[in-house]
Protein backbone atom coordinates (compact mmCIF):
# COMPACT_ATOMS: atom_id res chain seq x y z
CA UNK A 1 0.00 0.00 0.00
CA UNK A 2 1.21 3.49 -0.89
CA UNK A 3 -0.11 6.31 1.33
CA UNK A 4 -0.05 9.91 0.10
CA UNK A 5 -0.61 12.73 2.61
CA UNK A 6 -2.41 15.83 1.33
CA UNK A 7 -4.12 18.80 2.94
CA UNK A 8 -7.63 19.87 1.89
CA UNK A 9 -8.09 22.84 -0.40
CA UNK A 10 -5.59 24.20 -2.88
CA UNK A 11 -2.94 21.50 -2.41
CA UNK A 12 -5.52 18.72 -2.79
CA UNK A 13 -7.15 20.30 -5.86
CA UNK A 14 -3.86 21.07 -7.59
CA UNK A 15 -2.40 17.62 -6.88
CA UNK A 16 -5.35 15.82 -8.53
CA UNK A 17 -4.13 16.34 -12.14
CA UNK A 18 -0.68 15.02 -11.15
CA UNK A 19 -2.24 11.93 -9.65
CA UNK A 20 -4.30 11.53 -12.82
CA UNK A 21 -1.06 11.53 -14.82
CA UNK A 22 0.05 8.59 -12.66
CA UNK A 23 -3.26 6.84 -13.48
CA UNK A 24 -4.59 7.48 -9.96
CA UNK A 25 -8.05 8.95 -9.47
CA UNK A 26 -9.31 9.85 -6.01
CA UNK A 27 -12.76 8.28 -5.86
CA UNK A 28 -14.13 10.31 -2.93
CA UNK A 29 -14.70 14.06 -2.63
CA UNK A 30 -13.20 15.39 0.64
CA UNK A 31 -15.59 18.36 0.55
CA UNK A 32 -18.58 15.99 0.67
CA UNK A 33 -17.36 13.49 3.21
CA UNK A 34 -15.75 13.55 6.62
CA UNK A 35 -13.51 10.63 5.80
CA UNK A 36 -9.82 11.16 6.45
CA UNK A 37 -8.66 8.19 4.37
CA UNK A 38 -9.72 8.36 0.73
CA UNK A 39 -9.65 5.44 -1.65
CA UNK A 40 -8.34 5.79 -5.18
CA UNK A 41 -8.90 3.98 -8.47
CA UNK A 42 -5.77 1.97 -7.64
CA UNK A 43 -6.36 -0.50 -4.78
CA UNK A 44 -2.72 -0.14 -3.70
CA UNK A 45 -2.83 3.66 -3.31
CA UNK A 46 -4.71 5.74 -0.75
CA UNK A 47 -4.79 9.41 0.22
CA UNK A 48 -4.81 10.62 3.83
CA UNK A 49 -6.06 14.12 4.62
CA UNK A 50 -4.02 15.91 7.26
CA UNK A 51 -3.46 19.51 8.34
CA UNK A 52 -0.99 21.25 6.01
CA UNK A 53 1.54 21.70 8.81
CA UNK A 54 1.30 17.98 9.71
CA UNK A 55 2.21 16.67 6.22
CA UNK A 56 6.01 16.64 6.84
CA UNK A 57 5.47 14.92 10.22
CA UNK A 58 3.33 12.14 8.69
CA UNK A 59 5.90 11.52 5.96
CA UNK A 60 8.92 11.76 8.25
CA UNK A 61 7.53 9.17 10.69
CA UNK A 62 6.12 6.85 8.03
CA UNK A 63 2.41 7.57 8.62
CA UNK A 64 2.49 8.36 4.91
CA UNK A 65 5.00 7.30 2.25
CA UNK A 66 4.85 10.62 0.46
CA UNK A 67 3.05 13.94 0.65
CA UNK A 68 2.64 17.39 -0.83
CA UNK A 69 3.41 20.42 1.31
CA UNK A 70 4.27 24.11 0.98
CA UNK A 71 7.95 25.04 1.04
CA UNK A 72 7.13 27.38 3.96
CA UNK A 73 5.86 24.44 6.03
CA UNK A 74 8.92 22.43 5.12
CA UNK A 75 11.31 25.20 6.16
CA UNK A 76 9.56 25.58 9.50
CA UNK A 77 9.40 21.83 10.11
CA UNK A 78 12.86 20.96 8.83
CA UNK A 79 13.49 18.24 6.27
CA UNK A 80 15.43 15.63 8.29
CA UNK A 81 14.63 12.13 6.99
CA UNK A 82 12.73 13.47 4.01
CA UNK A 83 13.62 13.12 0.33
CA UNK A 84 12.54 16.19 -1.66
CA UNK A 85 12.60 15.18 -5.31
CA UNK A 86 10.37 17.85 -6.86
CA UNK A 87 9.22 21.44 -6.79
CA UNK A 88 5.64 20.92 -7.99
CA UNK A 89 5.19 24.64 -8.83
CA UNK A 90 1.65 24.56 -7.46
CA UNK A 91 0.03 26.64 -4.68
CA UNK A 92 2.44 29.42 -5.60
CA UNK A 93 2.64 32.43 -3.31
CA UNK A 94 5.34 34.42 -1.52
CA UNK A 95 6.47 35.04 2.03
CA UNK A 96 6.71 38.75 2.78
CA UNK A 97 7.08 41.34 5.50
CA UNK A 98 3.99 43.55 5.81
CA UNK A 99 3.22 46.56 7.98
CA UNK A 100 0.72 49.40 8.39
CA UNK A 101 0.99 51.94 5.58
CA UNK A 102 1.94 54.62 8.13
CA UNK A 103 4.84 52.58 9.58
CA UNK A 104 8.16 53.61 8.03
CA UNK A 105 9.70 50.14 7.82
CA UNK A 106 12.64 51.20 5.64
CA UNK A 107 13.71 53.90 8.12
CA UNK A 108 13.24 51.63 11.12
CA UNK A 109 15.51 49.03 9.49
CA UNK A 110 18.05 51.67 8.40
CA UNK A 111 18.21 53.18 11.87
CA UNK A 112 18.78 49.80 13.48
CA UNK A 113 15.55 49.94 15.50
CA UNK A 114 14.48 46.78 17.28
CA UNK A 115 11.37 45.59 15.44
CA UNK A 116 8.48 43.65 16.93
CA UNK A 117 7.46 41.07 14.32
CA UNK A 118 4.45 38.76 14.70
CA UNK A 119 4.34 35.57 12.65
CA UNK A 120 3.40 31.94 12.42
CA UNK A 121 6.69 31.41 10.51
CA UNK A 122 9.17 32.04 13.30
CA UNK A 123 12.04 30.06 11.72
CA UNK A 124 11.79 31.79 8.33
CA UNK A 125 11.45 35.23 9.98
CA UNK A 126 14.39 34.62 12.33
CA UNK A 127 16.70 33.57 9.48
CA UNK A 128 15.59 36.44 7.24
CA UNK A 129 16.14 39.22 9.78
CA UNK A 130 19.37 37.64 11.06
CA UNK A 131 20.76 37.65 7.50
CA UNK A 132 19.82 41.33 7.18
CA UNK A 133 21.35 42.11 10.58
CA UNK A 134 18.04 43.50 11.87
CA UNK A 135 17.23 43.00 15.55
CA UNK A 136 13.74 41.59 16.05
CA UNK A 137 11.51 40.42 18.85
CA UNK A 138 9.52 37.58 17.31
CA UNK A 139 5.97 37.03 18.54
CA UNK A 140 4.56 33.62 17.62
CA UNK A 141 0.95 33.62 16.44
CA UNK A 142 -1.15 30.77 15.05
CA UNK A 143 -3.51 32.80 12.84
CA UNK A 144 -4.93 36.21 11.85
CA UNK A 145 -1.49 37.78 11.79
CA UNK A 146 -2.91 40.88 10.06
CA UNK A 147 -4.41 41.93 13.39
CA UNK A 148 -1.02 42.30 15.08
CA UNK A 149 0.06 45.64 13.51
CA UNK A 150 -3.51 46.98 13.73
CA UNK A 151 -3.71 46.42 17.48
CA UNK A 152 -0.17 47.50 18.35
CA UNK A 153 0.94 43.94 19.15
CA UNK A 154 3.70 44.21 16.53
CA UNK A 155 5.32 46.67 14.10
CA UNK A 156 5.24 44.19 11.24
CA UNK A 157 4.23 40.65 10.30
CA UNK A 158 5.79 37.91 8.22
CA UNK A 159 3.04 36.13 6.30
CA UNK A 160 2.07 34.45 3.05
CA UNK A 161 0.83 36.75 0.28
CA UNK A 162 -0.91 35.48 -2.81
CA UNK A 163 -3.19 38.10 -4.42
CA UNK A 164 -2.53 40.69 -1.69
CA UNK A 165 -6.29 40.98 -1.00
CA UNK A 166 -6.00 39.98 2.67
CA UNK A 167 -3.35 42.65 3.33
CA UNK A 168 -5.35 45.32 1.44
CA UNK A 169 -8.56 44.48 3.28
CA UNK A 170 -6.70 45.09 6.54
CA UNK A 171 -4.92 48.29 5.43
CA UNK A 172 -1.50 46.67 5.43
CA UNK A 173 1.19 46.96 2.78
CA UNK A 174 3.83 44.49 1.69
CA UNK A 175 7.12 46.18 2.61
CA UNK A 176 9.64 43.50 1.67
CA UNK A 177 9.42 40.14 -0.10
CA UNK A 178 11.31 37.29 1.59
CA UNK A 179 10.98 34.37 -0.83
CA UNK A 180 8.78 32.71 -3.42
CA UNK A 181 6.93 29.67 -2.12
CA UNK A 182 5.45 26.67 -3.91
CA UNK A 183 4.50 23.14 -2.96
CA UNK A 184 7.06 20.30 -2.83
CA UNK A 185 6.74 16.57 -3.09
CA UNK A 186 8.19 14.97 0.05
CA UNK A 187 9.02 11.28 0.30
CA UNK A 188 9.90 9.07 3.26
CA UNK A 189 13.44 7.84 2.62
CA UNK A 190 12.84 4.32 3.94
CA UNK A 191 9.66 3.99 1.84
CA UNK A 192 11.62 5.05 -1.22
CA UNK A 193 13.94 2.07 -0.70
CA UNK A 194 11.26 -0.45 0.28
CA UNK A 195 8.58 0.56 -2.27
CA UNK A 196 10.89 1.89 -4.95
CA UNK A 197 8.93 0.98 -8.09
CA UNK A 198 5.46 2.36 -7.23
CA UNK A 199 6.92 5.49 -5.63
CA UNK A 200 9.22 6.11 -8.62
CA UNK A 201 6.22 5.81 -10.96
CA UNK A 202 4.39 8.53 -8.98
CA UNK A 203 7.47 10.80 -8.87
CA UNK A 204 7.99 10.40 -12.63
CA UNK A 205 4.32 11.15 -13.43
CA UNK A 206 4.36 14.22 -11.18
CA UNK A 207 7.63 15.39 -12.82
CA UNK A 208 6.13 14.97 -16.30
CA UNK A 209 3.08 17.06 -15.30
CA UNK A 210 5.31 19.80 -13.87
CA UNK A 211 7.40 20.04 -17.05
CA UNK A 212 4.30 19.95 -19.25
CA UNK A 213 2.81 22.90 -17.33
CA UNK A 214 5.98 25.04 -17.57
CA UNK A 215 6.47 27.24 -20.65
CA UNK A 216 9.32 25.76 -22.63
CA UNK A 217 12.51 27.84 -22.63
CA UNK A 218 12.55 28.08 -26.41
CA UNK A 219 9.11 29.68 -26.34
CA UNK A 220 10.11 32.57 -24.07
CA UNK A 221 10.80 35.89 -25.83
CA UNK A 222 14.23 36.24 -24.16
CA UNK A 223 15.35 32.87 -25.50
CA UNK A 224 14.10 33.52 -29.04
CA UNK A 225 16.02 36.78 -29.50
P1 LIG B 1 -4.17 36.64 -0.50
O2 LIG B 1 -5.28 37.41 0.17
O3 LIG B 1 -4.58 36.08 -1.83
O4 LIG B 1 -2.89 37.46 -0.58
O5 LIG B 1 -3.87 35.35 0.40
C6 LIG B 1 -3.25 35.53 1.64
C7 LIG B 1 -3.70 34.51 2.67
O8 LIG B 1 -4.15 33.29 2.09
C9 LIG B 1 -2.51 34.18 3.55
O10 LIG B 1 -2.64 34.82 4.80
C11 LIG B 1 -2.53 32.69 3.68
O12 LIG B 1 -3.09 32.34 4.91
C13 LIG B 1 -3.43 32.19 2.57
N14 LIG B 1 -2.70 31.61 1.42
C15 LIG B 1 -2.74 32.07 0.14
N16 LIG B 1 -2.02 31.30 -0.68
C17 LIG B 1 -1.50 30.32 0.09
C18 LIG B 1 -0.65 29.19 -0.16
N19 LIG B 1 -0.19 28.90 -1.38
N20 LIG B 1 -0.31 28.41 0.88
C21 LIG B 1 -0.77 28.68 2.12
N22 LIG B 1 -1.57 29.72 2.43
C23 LIG B 1 -1.93 30.52 1.43
CA 164 to ligand 1: nearest atom? 4
pLDDT at 201: 97
Helix or strand (DSSP H, E) at 52: none
Q: How far apart are CA 121 and CA 107, in angstroms?
A: 24
Per-residue pLDDT tens for 187-199? 999 999 999 999 9
Nearest CA to 75 out of 125, 117, 3, 116 is that of: 125
Residue nearest to atom 9 of ligand 1 (CA): 160
93-100/115-119 β-pairing:
unpaired
115-119/136-140 β-pairing:
parallel
Residues with CB under 6 A from ligand 1: 10, 70, 91, 93, 159-166
For the entire predicted model, the pTM comes to 0.91
Of 3.40.190.10, 2.60.120.10, 3.20.20.70, 2.40.50.140, which CATH number belongs to 2-91+182-213?
Answer: 3.40.190.10
How many helices, marked H, and strands, marked E, lie in the chain?
A: 10, 11
* Rounded distance from Cα 160 to ligand 1 centre (Å): 5
Packing angle of the helix pair 10-21, 196-213 (nearest 10 deg): 110
| pLDDT score of 85 more than 90 | yes
CA 161 to ligand 1: nearest atom? 4
Of 3.30.70.20, 3.40.190.10, 3.90.110.10, 3.40.50.2300, which CATH number belongs to 93-180?
Answer: 3.40.190.10
| CATH code 3.40.190.10 region(s) in the chain | 2-91+182-213, 93-180
Residue nearest to atom 20 of ligand 1 (CA): 91
Per-residue pLDDT tens for 114-142? 999 999 999 999 999 999 999 999 999 99
Query: In a mutational test of the pocket of ligand 1, which residue from 148, 161, 179 has the highest number of ligand atoms less than 8 Å from its CB?
Result: 161
pLDDT at 223: 41
Nearest CA to 171 out of 94, 93, 97, 98 is that of: 98
The answer to whether the beta carbons of residues 78 and 69 sit under 8 Å apart is no
Q: What is the largest CA-CA distance in the chain?
A: 61
Beta-ladder partners of 161: 94
Query: In a mutational test of the pocket of ligand 1, which residue from 93, 145, 158, 177 has the highest number of ligand atoms less than 8 Å from its CB?
Result: 93
124: left (phi over 0), alpha (psi -120 to 50) or beta: alpha
- Helix, strand, coil % in the chain, rounded to nearest 5: 40, 30, 30
Query: In a mutational test of the pocket of ligand 1, which residue from 118, 144, 160 has the highest number of ligand atoms less than 8 Å from its CB?
Result: 160
Per-residue pLDDT tens for 136-167? 999 999 999 999 999 999 999 999 999 999 99
Per-residue pLDDT tens for 19-78? 999 999 999 888 888 999 999 999 999 999 999 999 999 999 999 999 999 999 999 999
- Tell me the residue ranges of DSSP E strands in the chain: 2-6, 37-39, 45-49, 66-70, 82-87, 93-100, 115-119, 136-140, 156-161, 172-181, 183-188
Amino acid sequence: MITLALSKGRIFEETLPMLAAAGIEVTEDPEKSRKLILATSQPGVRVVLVRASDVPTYVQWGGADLGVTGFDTLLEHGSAGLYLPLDLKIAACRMSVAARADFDYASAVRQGARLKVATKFVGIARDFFATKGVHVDLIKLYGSMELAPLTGLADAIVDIVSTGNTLRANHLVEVEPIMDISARLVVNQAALKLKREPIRRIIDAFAATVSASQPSEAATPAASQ
